Structure 1
């Protein structure tokens, strides 16, 4: 479906692509936004139109969040639009860790540094780390956008909850919930018993052993005992901060054995569980009715309708429903790319400025992240290229399309489609059929 707004930018009922083409061809509407595609009707207002309203379903996650816009008629839902929001919480965590490491390094070398601030900060109630707050802000940003483009009347959100102890031990029950992983063990004794008193990388035994992080701490690994293993001194030094996949690239059997014995990491489950209350509070603050449902209800709904497991289809099946008539044939993938950096320098490995960037982000009327279309008549880049642009002071830009990176496109061939909004967009084709509850088969809505 196509989003429609009136001449005062207030949302109207979405229409079909065929209807949108007629409105654009007759001059009654203009393109309001390129991606997602929104048209603005020139001769109509909300008071002159019949607006039934739509609803939003949200399936929150740690790395991906599925959002579906649908029309609900007596419990029967018809999917109109679907977007998969890809978060960059891991990138934010890595950048904050690197910044803290630079500061610690300057202090230890008696160089210019900022005094440490870890005991003089008062955090407000409900404070979340930036990497977790980013997930809530991303979801709320898209809810706000969809409310500007469609007449949203209700929101359905899945209540994310994980039994982390059950994920670690499927047979846990009763009083065992009160026992930690190290119940009756010391850390080293536990690891010696769990890993057979030998180096997991080379198999050496009877030699001094070190405690090694399977996922290095420098790459986000935790001190949880499920991320610890045994390694001899030589293997521990050789591995260092290298990912275990790269360190054992030529020994896949050893890597598979470690993966089988290593317990399931809980980072994503913890992130989703931590942000669920903050997300619910933010949704309630919008003033719209918010219906909360469990993940078990969503899974049961998918089994009834025969829908596959995806983030956006989970969002479509959140809450109480009787049937799903159809779902969108295409899913818009929106990856958080940020709006650039305030820093006008690039630092070296010690954290000191090395390169100075231009003070202005605009070059020839374009900024990095703008959605553009380039029509190149001659040369090695001949053709039409649509994607996000990376500007250069020389006027020769790079364009990241869906399939490749096109370098060295002159600015005179570039035409602006949409200003940068902090997102990188791609579309995924999903052409499947959905068996309805009454035995009929309905095609996905295109």
Structure 2
């Protein structure tokens, strides 16, 4: 019975060397060795634990997990997030309930697991989306297809109304954001006891709370009008002075084209400036004020007209995400951006995506224990492409892709550890793999790309799952 549930068999040595014997041939193609060092486990937050039946238990300290591994009582089940599996069944365990908290964003989403009863942040991560990459790829594909269609089917009648979209359809670039979050909610549910979900859904709006009937210009220019603009401008201009680049200074809202000369209050005419720059510019025309800095002038004008793509992406996906989270069967609490900022400020936490996630909703404990939290940085990379050929910059085929995905037991996207003992590239490299049929691979590490690493030196740490990780 035990062999049906253990995903990894092992032999523990005193040097914390774990021999991982692969059981599932569909996801793992060879037998490899993975080194679990004291330094690696110390760089972790709480470690997730499963019993032999894959039943979630309470997360434990990394030191205790290291002890279980060294004593042969557990094996490494998954590297990211780090999870161990016991070699025995735990009957009627007392498992504490956890709440997964989500702070959705257009580019990056914050995730956190919080124990509501103790206030402990068990695990935190920030998830980087690839929605804008998908949008650019779809644009490129559309251009190539249009060119080919004009060349080969110029006499065919256009067919634009022969496709129907299901209810709740989202473009692929937006749907990927929702899918990424749901994927990680399901993964965390499989390795921990999650009983509730909190999601940041809308902005803080006390004006409508005070007067539910307010509408029109009274709603647009009321109590929160200045608050919303300031928060948006801080994000848009990266909390720096647009003219001198100063940071950590009081910033004021500056009209690029002065009101006295016909400038409006539109977002595209507003930027941030420190007090000295604001007074120095006065009501001058920005072209006269930056006459000697043409590059800075061009940068400010382009930044001011930047579309609200991030805001539109969040607004288009937030309700879709909410309805999908409701389908999990867990109670979903929604919070506002104003409450999140308030909770984070009074608890003295830094402005990061994962701390924002920990502070989402009214359920946030009065005191959050964050002393041993080391966030996991996750980046969505996708699962490759189905293109049969690569094209040059003109859209013509330049080379063809092989149908074989596995080379020497590896595939592109695997996270490996390469210990090179000879040659010009002696050293240890950990990162995401790009394979070649020749067996000479490339490894993307945190320090950059390392090319030409032989497959003989590569040890698999984490099989391809569409994401890259930095602990």
Give your verdict on TM over 0.5: yes
Give the equivalent residue in structure 2 for 1:38.
83
Tell me the SS of whatever aligns to 1:136: helix
Give the equivalent residue in structure 2 for 1:280.
322
Following superposition, the deviation at residue 323 of structure 1 comes to: 2.1
Gaps of 5+ in 1: 164-172, 180-223, 228-249, 428-446
Matches within 5 A, 1:25-424: 25-45=70-90, 47-73=91-117, 76-110=118-152, 117-161=159-203, 174-175=216-217, 251-259=294-302, 262-263=304-305, 265-320=307-362, 321=364, 322-326=366-370, 328-424=372-468
Conserved 8 A contact 2:391-2:399 = yes
Cα distance in 1 for residues equivalent to 2:157 and 2:203:
39
Cα distance in 1 for residues equivalent to 2:54 and 2:220:
56
Seen in structure 2, the aligned counterparts of structure 1 residues 289 and 257 have a Cα distance that, compared at 3 Å, is closer
Following superposition, the deviation at residue 256 of structure 1 comes to: 4.6
Cα distance in 2 for residues equivalent to 1:161 and 1:9:
39
Cα distance in 1 for residues equivalent to 2:85 and 2:119:
26
Tell me the SS of whatever aligns to 1:326: coil
Give the equivalent residue in structure 2 for 1:23.
68
Tell me the SS of whatever aligns to 1:271: helix
Following superposition, the deviation at residue 421 of structure 1 comes to: 0.4
Cα distance in 2 for residues equivalent to 1:305 and 1:256:
37
Cα distance in 1 for residues equivalent to 2:298 and 2:358:
38
- Superposed CA offset, 1:56-112 (max 9, x none): 110001111000012121xx5211111111000011111111111112222334469
Following superposition, the deviation at residue 405 of structure 1 comes to: 1.2
Conserved 8 A contact 2:381-2:468 = yes
TM-score (norm 1): 0.73
Cα distance in 2 for residues equivalent to 1:390 and 1:411:
11
Moved more, 105-114 or 391-400: 105-114
Aligned pair count reads 349
Q: Which residue, out of 422, 425, 434, partners 2:469?
A: 425
Cα distance in 2 for residues equivalent to 1:390 and 1:333:
20
Cα distance in 2 for residues equivalent to 1:112 and 1:91:
30
Conserved 8 A contact 1:106-1:112 = no
Give the equivalent residue in structure 1 for 2:49.
4
Conserved 8 A contact 1:4-1:12 = yes
Cα distance in 2 for residues equivalent to 1:6 and 1:310:
34
Moved more, 318-327 or 154-163: 154-163
Following superposition, the deviation at residue 175 of structure 1 comes to: 2.8
Seen in structure 2, the aligned counterparts of structure 1 residues 308 and 393 have a Cα distance that, compared at 3 Å, is same
Tell me the SS of whatever aligns to 2:101: strand
Cα distance in 2 for residues equivalent to 1:358 and 1:333:
32
Conserved 8 A contact 1:34-1:418 = yes
Conserved 8 A contact 2:99-2:116 = yes
Tell me the SS of whatever aligns to 1:15: coil
